C-alpha cells in the first residue's frame, strides 16, 4: 500500500464510493432520475477502482491501463450498438461476466495464499472463496444460457430429462464437498502447487459451472427475466464473497447492494406474475401449450378485424384513451410512432395515458425506458394498480404488442398457467383495439379470450407500420 493514501485514506475513499453506490441505486428507482443514478453509480465504481489501483501493487500500471482501456472500449461499443430490445440479454451477459470475474479473483487469491503459506489458507478465507466460487460459476454459465435464450441463440423451451434433479443435486454436492475439503484440508494446495494433485477449488468451479447450465437450461424462455434478476443477485453475492476473500470493504458493500437489489427485483417480478420463485425454477412455465381445437373454439368466427382508418375514427370520438404497450411494441420499434399518437391526442384535449404492466417488457421498467426514449412525459406512464380502476371510464384502449398481461383468464380460470397473475383489465373499456401480427399465444403458451370479446377489434400487422398509419390518418382528419 503506498503512502499516498494509507489505511485511513483508503477507507475514506471506499466510504465515498459506497455512498455514491447507495445514492445511485436510490436514483435508479424512478425513470426521471435513472440516468443520474447510473452516472452516480459509475462514478462510485471509478473512485473504488482508481483507489484500489493506486493503493495496491496488483499488476504493472501499463497492463492495468491497457485492461481499463480495452474494457471501457468494449462497454462503450455495447452501450451504443445494442438495441433497447436487447438490454435484458445484455444485462444477463454482464451478470455472467461479473460472476465469472468474482470466482476467478477469489481463486487467484486462494492460490497466492496457498503458495505463500505452504498450502495453508485461513478458514475464513476458504469459506468466502468457496462461496464466491460456487455462486460466481453458477452465475457465469447460467447467465450466458439465459442471455442466449432471450437472444434466440439457445432454444427458449425448457429442456427437461429424466433424473435432471438428481444430476443437479450431484453437481451441487461435488461443488460443496470440494469447497469443504479446501477449507478443512487446505494442505491439498501444497500438492497442487507441486503439480501432483487436482486443485479442489478448480474442481469446485467446474462442477458449479456445469450446475449453472443445468439449472437454467431447464427453465422456459418466458421465465428468463426472473432468472436474470435472480442471477443479478447472485453476481452481487459472488462479488461480496470475493470482497471478504480480499478484505476489500468497497467490494463487499457494492456486492451486497447488488445482491439485495437483485433479490428485491426478483421478488417484485414473481409477485407481478403471481408465482413463487420455486415455481419459476421448477414449474416449466409455458411448456403446456393449447391444442388447435381449443384455439379454434375460442377464436373461430369470433374475431373482428379493423383497419387504421377505423381506429382513427374511434380515437376521433374518444375523450379518454389508454395505450397499453407490450414487448411486441419494443420488437417493432414502434415507441416513437406511439408517442407521436399520444401527443396528437393530447393536443386535441383527449385524456391519454399509458397503462404499464410490471412485466410488459422483459424486465421491470423496460416499457418506461422505451417510452422515455421517445419523449413520452413521465406523468402519462401509469402503473397497473393506478390504471386498472379507470378502464371502466375509458373510451378506447389501444393495446400494442401485449398479450399475457391483458389476458382475462388470469382472473377467471383457476387452472390457467397465469391464474392469479395481476393483469390490466382492459376488457372493461368501451372499445379495445389490439395490434398484433397474428393470434399466436404469448409466453404462457395459451390463447387470449380478450381477442374474441364483442368490444375487441384486432389490428393485424407490424406495430410500427400500423401505429404510423393511425398517426397519418389522425393528422389528415385534423
The string of pLDDT tens digits covering residues 447-464 is: 889 999 999 999 999 999
Q: Which residues pair with 351 in a beta bridge?
A: 320
Helix ranges (H only) for 117-163 are 123-151
Q: How confident is the model at residue 426 (pLDDT cuts 50, 70, 90)?
A: very high
Between the alpha carbon of residue 294 and those of residues 94, 175, 209, 291, 427, the distances in Å are: 41, 46, 42, 5, 21
User: Is 70 exceeded by the pLDDT of residue 286?
Assistant: no
Which residues are annotated as catalytic? 404
Give the Cα separation of 301 and 454 in Å (integer): 11
Question: How many CA atoms lie within 13 Å of 199's alpha carbon, on the beta-carbon side?
Answer: 19
User: Is 80 exceeded by the pLDDT of residue 122?
Assistant: no
Residue-level pLDDT at 328: 85
Instruction: Check: CB of residue 268 under 8 Å from CB of residue 358.
Output: yes
Comparison of pLDDT for 73 and 444, the residue scoring more: 73
Work out the angle between the directed axes of helices 31-55 and 249-272 (0-180°, nearest 10): 150
Residues 6+ apart with CB under 8 A from 319: 350, 351, 395
- Condensed to tens digits (0 to 9), the pLDDT of residues 85-94 reads 777 788 888 8
Q: How confident is the model at residue 120 (pLDDT cuts 50, 70, 90)?
A: low
* Of residues 106, 105, 200, 98, the one with CA closest to residue 140: 98
Comparison of pLDDT for 411 and 291, the residue scoring more: 411
Q: How confident is the model at residue 2 (pLDDT cuts 50, 70, 90)?
A: very low
Instruction: Kindly report the number of other CB atoms within 10 A of residue 428's CB atom.
Output: 17
Give the Cα separation of 423 and 411 in Å (integer): 8
Most confident of 44-58, 174-188, 318-332, 402-416: 318-332
Q: Please, is 295 exposed, middle or buried when counting C-beta atoms within 10 Å of its C-beta (0-12, 13-18, 19+)?
A: middle
DSSP 428: G
Residue-level pLDDT at 234: 92
* Of residues 103, 64, 218, the one with CA closest to residue 149: 218
Give the Cα separation of 41 and 27 in Å (integer): 9
Residue-level pLDDT at 224: 77
Instruction: Check: CB of residue 154 under 8 Å from CB of residue 278.
Output: no
Average pLDDT over residues 49-58: 76
Q: Report angle CA 445, 451, 452 to the nearest 5 degrees.
A: 115
Q: How confident is the model at residue 10 (pLDDT cuts 50, 70, 90)?
A: confident
Q: The C-alpha cell of 418 is what?
A: 397465469
Residues 6+ apart with CB under 8 A from 289: 441, 445, 446
Q: Tell the residue number behind the cell numbers 411486441, with chain if given.
A: 328
* Of residues 315, 421, 328, 406, the one with CA closest to residue 370: 328
pTM for the full predicted model = 0.76
Residue-level pLDDT at 190: 44
Q: How confident is the model at residue 117 (pLDDT cuts 50, 70, 90)?
A: low
Instruction: Check: CB of residue 188 under 8 Å from CB of residue 125.
Output: no
- Condensed to tens digits (0 to 9), the pLDDT of residues 298-308 reads 777 788 999 99
Mean pLDDT for the chain? 83
Amino acid at each position: 500500500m503506498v503512502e499516498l493514501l494509507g489505511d485511513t485514506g483508503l477507507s475514506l475513499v471506499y466510504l465515498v464510493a459506497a455512498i455514491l453506490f447507495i445514492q445511485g441505486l436510490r436514483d435508479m428507482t424512478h425513470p426521471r432520475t435513472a440516468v443520474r443514478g447510473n452516472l452516480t453509480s459509475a462514478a462510485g465504481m471509478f473512485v473504488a477502482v482508481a483507489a484500489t489501483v493506486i493503493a495496491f501493487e496488483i499488476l504493472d500500471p501499463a497492463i492495468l491501463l491497457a485492461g481499463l482501456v480495452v474494457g471501457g472500449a468494449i462497454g462503450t461499443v455495447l452501450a451504443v450498438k445494442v438495441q433497447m430490445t436487447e438490454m435484458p440479454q445484455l444485462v444477463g451477459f454482464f451478470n455472467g461476466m461479473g460472476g465469472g470475474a468474482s470466482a476467478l479473483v477469489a481463486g487467484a487469491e486462494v492460490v497466492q495464499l496457498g503458495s505463500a503459506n505452504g498450502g495453508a489458507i485461513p478458514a475464513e478465507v476458504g469459506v468466502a472463496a468457496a462461496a464466491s466460487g460456487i455462486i460466481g460459476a453458477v452465475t457465469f454459465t447460467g447467465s450466458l444460457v439465459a442471455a442466449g435464450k432471450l437472444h434466440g441463440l439457445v432454444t427458449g423451451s425448457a429442456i427437461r430429462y429424466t433424473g435432471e434433479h438428481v444430476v443437479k443435486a450431484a453437481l451441487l454436492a461435488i461443488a460443496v464437498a470440494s469447497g469443504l475439503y479446501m477449507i478443512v484440508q487446505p494442505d491439498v494446495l501444497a500438492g497442487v502447487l507441486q503439480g501432483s494433485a487436482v486443485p479442489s477449488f478448480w474442481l469446485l468451479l467446474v462442477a458449479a459451472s456445469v450446475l449453472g447450465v443445468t439449472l437454467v437450461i431447464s427453465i422456459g424462455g418466458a421465465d428468463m427475466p426472473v432468472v436474470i434478476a435472480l442471477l443479478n443477485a447472485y453476481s452481487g453475492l459472488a462479488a461480496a464473497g470475493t470482497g471478504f476473500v480480499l478484505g476489500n470493504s468497497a467490494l463487499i458493500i457494492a456486492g451486497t447492494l447488488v445482491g439485495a437489489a437483485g433479490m428485491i427485483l426478483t421478488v417484485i417480478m414473481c409477485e407481478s406474475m403471481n408465482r413463487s420463485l420455486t415455481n419459476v425454477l421448477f414449474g416449466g412455465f409455458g411448456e403446456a401449450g393449447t391444442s388447435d381445437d381449443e384455439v379454434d373454439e375460442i377464436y373461430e368466427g369470433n374475431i373482428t378485424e379493423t383497419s387504421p382508418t377505423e381506429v382513427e375514427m374511434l380515437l376521433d370520438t374518444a375523450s379518454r384513451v389508454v395505450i397499453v404497450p407490450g414487448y411486441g411494441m419494443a420488437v417493432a420499434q414502434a415507441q416513437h410512432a406511439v408517442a407521436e399518437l399520444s401527443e396528437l391526442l393530447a393536443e386535441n384535449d383527449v385524456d391519454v395515458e399509458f397503462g404499464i404492466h410490471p412485466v410488459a417488457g422483459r424486465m421491470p421498467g423496460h416499457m418506461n425506458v422505451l417510452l422515455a426514449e421517445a419523449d413520452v412525459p413521465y406523468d402519462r406512464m401509469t402503473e397497473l394498480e393506478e390504471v386498472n380502476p379507470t378502464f371502466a371510464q375509458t373510451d378506447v384502449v389501444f393495446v400494442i404488442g401485449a398479450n399475457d398481461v391483458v389476458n382475462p383468464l388470469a382472473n377467471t380460470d383457476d387452472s390457467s398457467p397465469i391464474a392469479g397473475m395481476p393483469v390490466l383489465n382492459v376488457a372493461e373499456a368501451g372499445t379495445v383495439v389490439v395490434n398484433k401480427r397474428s393470434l399466436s399465444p404469448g409466453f404462457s403458451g395459451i390463447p387470449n379470450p380478450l381477442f374474441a370479446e364483442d368490444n375487441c377489434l384486432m389490428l393485424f400487422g407490424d406495430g410500427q407500420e400500423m401505429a404510423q398509419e393511425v398517426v397519418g390518418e389522425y393528422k389528415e382528419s385534423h
